[in-house]
């Protein structure tokens, strides 16, 4: 099945029809849920990376700060991904073909990879090396910010 056909199947699915035939407020609610997801995700990440860079809460060990925000990060990612998936299903043919949507997904994949392979490992260490801490913090924050900007552009470009 081609990519275009896949988008077609998605947008003609039962879930997509339920969302797009419903009141505009359903779309607005999904958007608000997406923003709350971003709020939790980004704030948790910013706090953990600021700690890694030694810019805040320096008296508290890195793994303690990381443990404290992990729950909120996970709730944020789940909320953003679930609401984002539902919004995408309803508008697959409109947005799926946009280059900036592809860019957002590529940045998202890279952010997840950096998170799993680098950041989450560094955050478990009591005294991570400064180089690893900086690389993980800057890469992760930069990629997630890129995801946010690319996402905001989808509706405009």
- Whether 148 and 38 have beta carbons less than 8 Å apart is answered as yes
Q: Taking the complex as a whole, how short is the minimal distance between the CB of residue 3 and other proteins, in angstroms?
A: 25
Binders of other proteins in range 69-128 (CB under 8 A):
69, 72
The yes or no reply on residue 66 touching other proteins (CB under 8 A) is no
In the block, tokens 């913090």 appear at: 137
Binders of other proteins in range 3-32 (CB under 8 A):
24-25, 28, 31-32
**Which tokens sit at 109?**
């994949």
DSSP 91: T
The yes or no reply on residue 148 touching other proteins (CB under 8 A) is yes
Cα–Cα distances in angstroms (integers) from residue 15 to residues 12, 21, 34, 83, in the given order: 8, 10, 18, 13
- Given the rule CB under 8 A, which residues bind other proteins? 24-25, 28, 31-32, 35-36, 38-44, 46-47, 50, 56-57, 59-60, 64-65, 67-69, 72, 145, 148-149, 152-153, 156-157
């Amino acid at each position: 099945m081609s990519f275009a056909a896949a988008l077609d199947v998605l947008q003609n699915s039962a879930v997509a029809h339920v969302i797009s035939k419903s009141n505009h407020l359903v779309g607005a609610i999904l958007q608000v849920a997406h923003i709350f997801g971003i709020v939790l995700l980004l704030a948790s990440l910013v706090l953990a990376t600021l700690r890694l860079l030694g810019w805040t809460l320096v008296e508290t060990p890195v793994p303690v700060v990381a443990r404290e925000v992990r729950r909120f990060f996970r709730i944020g990612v789940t909320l953003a991904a679930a609401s984002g998936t539902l919004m995408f299903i309803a508008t697959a043919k409109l947005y799926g073909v946009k280059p900036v949507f592809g860019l957002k997904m590529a940045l998202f994949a890279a952010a997840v990879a950096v998170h799993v392979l680098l950041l989450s490992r560094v955050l478990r260490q009591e005294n991570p090396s400064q180089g690893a801490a900086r690389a993980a913090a800057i890469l992760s924050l930069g990629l997630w910010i890129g995801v946010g900007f690319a996402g905001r552009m989808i509706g405009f470009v």
